[in-house]
Structure 1
Amino acid sequence: MAKEYIKYVDVTKCDGCRACMVACKNWNDLPAEPEEFQGSLQSHAKVTANTWNVLNFIEHENSKGDLEYLFRHSSCFHCTDAACEKVCPEDAISYTDFGSVVINNDKCVGCGYCVQNCPFDVISLATYKDKNGKEYRKAQKCTMCTDRLEEGMQPACVVTCHPGAMQFGNKEDMLTLAEKRLSEIKEKFPNANIYNPAGVGGTHTIYVLAEKPSVYGLPEKPKVPTSAVIWKDYAQPIGKLMLGATTMAVMAGFVSNKLFNKGGHDHGQDEEGGDSDE
């Protein structure tokens, strides 16, 4: 099994260049997606089915009363306990050995359950048309460049980050790096923290934030929706057991019926044979 990896993002080093956005678009061959003017420096309101990586610009008044810009690279968090994986009725979403959460395009039916249950709002449905012009939808999001990882490369966004705000590596090494960085910036940023929420089992995209998560538009304590837990961990297993029991009952009934009919048919033949002998 491959090692588990983490993408580590230090927002205090980000200079807002958007190179990560461009690299993501280029590598994944994602179409351009013009949007209405967002105001100030923001190019896209949020990640979408065709824009998997967005740089967020946040105007923030610091503790000294000064206005400053905060930047955050935004993409899928690749949760260890992913709600999207739990609620997918087609088993189209799965975990890789690298820790990334990926969508099987061939299995996805565009139901949107993953979109509705993602606590970070990073999955969207892309619309396509078949050869007859009929529209259909597929869920899409950041894959953490799993195809690159399989070839021994790093995610495109990490490679192109010139200020070194993003790094990628072994889980333990990245967590250690985050802790070290946090200790270095605590004096300058007293509210600094490591964002690796336990409510989703931890994530494979972790952040060193200069301010509280809510300042960056992140949920303070995200968790897998209770409905997703009930569906995946209780309803589905019980349903499969019931389906198995039902199937066995149907098969038993079928076999019994065949045996019963066979016995009756043979008995009838014996009677007919007896009559002919007489």
Structure 2
Amino acid sequence: MADYIKFVDVTKCDGCRACMVACKNWNDLPTVTEEYSGSIQSHAKVNAHTWNVITYNEHETANGGFEWLFRHQSCLHCVEAACEKACPEDAISHTEFGSVVIDHDKCVGCGYCVQNCTFDVVELATYKDKHGKEYRRAQKCTLCTDRLEQGLEPACVTACHTDCLIYDEKEKVLSEAEQRLAKIKERFPNANIYNPQGIKGTTTVYLLADKPSVYGLPENPKVPLSQIVWKDYAQPLGKAMFGVTTMAVVGSVIAHAMNREKGEHKGGQDHE
């Protein structure tokens, strides 16, 4: 099939949350209540049972006015996905549609994907087996891969009444996005198309009204070198030489190093 992407033009979003409802309905996700924080935003962020959230950011206009900047927050389905690199069980992979999905039969709930997700969208959900024993599995947006396999659009896209969300051929969408960007530059001088090449692009691409950081997005995300070395070199070689048991130990050591690296990176950002 043609190379398709989900495109999000945040300047067309009116914050109606229809995409959130459609996602819950299609994926049969349970209700998640949160303590009221004083914000009109329904959830602080996406979580294991809420796979997309409309975020609200207060924005002061050039003439001193005020408006809301909305964003449809969900998994971006990175071409080079840090969660996939971090997974020691090969439970995370890319589909033919470019979506990043989790195989729950392979997932052991270790949480390395959660700790290393570039956009902080993966979370662990807790379940109980027939004996009442609790276990955890990683959860996030699947880009409605089950719908794509049937020739349907993602549920969130079908529910959007402003055409903020589009699922179409990549080249066509990006060409139209450039035209749209040129039109809104006068109103939003910092507007940009967010498709970070440090992770080789994403299957969910944004037209943002302001800098990525305004929306809580990293300006130029990259997969840490330690994750690339672990997934692409150390893990395959280790399995061939030492066996799965030994690799579990090696994986634990490398995962610890990755987590420390991420923590140091965040600490450096805070210091700045």
Q: Which TM bucket (shorter chain)? A: 0.7 to 0.9
DSSP 3-state at the match of 1:115? helix
Determine if contact 1:14/1:71 at 8 Å carries over to the other structure.
yes
Per-residue deviation, residues 87-144 of structure 1 (Å, max 9, x unmatched): 1111111101111000111111101010011110000000001112111000000000
Q: Are the aligned partners of 1:117 and 1:225 in contact in 2 as well (CA < 8 Å)?
A: no
Partner of 2:114: 115
Q: Which moved more, 1:74-83 or 1:219-228?
A: 219-228
In structure 2, the residue matched to 1:221 is 220
Rounded Cα–Cα distance in structure 1 between residues aligned with 2:124 and 2:74: 15
> Is 1:190 the equivalent of 2:189?
yes
Deviation digits for residues 172-197 of structure 1, max 9, x if unmatched?
A: 12211211111111121110000001
What is the rounded CA distance, in whole Å, between the counterparts of 2:135 and 2:225 in structure 1? Answer: 29
TM-score (norm 2): 0.86
User: Per the alignment, in what secondary structure is the counterpart of residue 57 of structure 2?
Assistant: strand
Letter in 2 for 1:166: L
Aligned-partner SS, 2:114 = helix
Equivalent residue, structure 2, for 1:163? 162
Give 1:126's aligned residue: 125
Q: Is the 8 A contact 1:38 1:44 kept in 2?
A: no
Paired residue type of 1:78: H
The Cα RMSD (Å) is: 1.2
Q: Shift of the alpha carbon at 1:48?
A: 0.3
User: How many residues of Structure 1 are paired with residues of Structure 2 in the alignment?
Assistant: 243
Please list, as runs of the form range in 1=range in 2, the aligned pairs for 1:70-109 lying within 5 A after superposition: 70-109=69-108
- CA drift at 1:241: 4.3
- The one-letter amino acid paired with 2:126 is T
Aligned twin of 1:50? 49
Structure 1 stretches lacking a partner, 5+ long: 245-278
Partner of 2:211: 212
3-state SS in 2 of match to 1:8: strand
Q: CA deviation at 1:234?
A: 2.3
State how far apart, in whole Å, the 1-side matches of 2:57 and 2:38 are.
Answer: 11
**SS class of match (2:138):** strand
Distance 2:217 2:65 in 1: 22
Bigger Cα Rg:
1
Aligned to 2:153: 154
Query: Partner residue of 1:4?
Result: 3
For residue 32 of structure 1, what is the amino acid of its counterpart?
A: T
Query: 2:180 and 2:85 mapped to 1: Cα distance?
Result: 34
Provide the C-alpha distance between the structure 1 equivalents of 2:99 and 2:4, rounded to a whole number of angstroms: 8
> What is the SS of the residue equivalent to 2:202?
coil
Give, as a single letter, the amino acid of the residue that structure 1 aligns with 2:94.
Y
For residue 171 of structure 2, what is the aligned residue in structure 1?
A: 172
2:34 maps to a residue whose letter is E
Q: Mind listing any 5+ residue stretches in structure 2 that lack a counterpart?
A: 244-272
Do the aligned residues in 2 keep the contact of 1:197 with 1:222 (CA within 8 Å)?
Answer: yes
Moved more, 3-12 or 119-128: 3-12
- The amino acid of 1:4's aligned partner reads D
The list of structure 1 runs, each at least 4 consecutive aligned residues, that deviate by more than 6 angstroms after superposition, is none
The DSSP-based 3-state class of the residue aligned with 2:198 is helix
Q: Secondary structure at the match of 2:227?
A: helix
**Residue identity matched to 1:194:** I
Separation in structure 1 between the aligned mates of residue 226 and residue 211 of structure 2, nearest angstrom: 28
For 2:190, give the aligned amino acid. Answer: N
TM-score, normalization: structure 1? Answer: 0.85
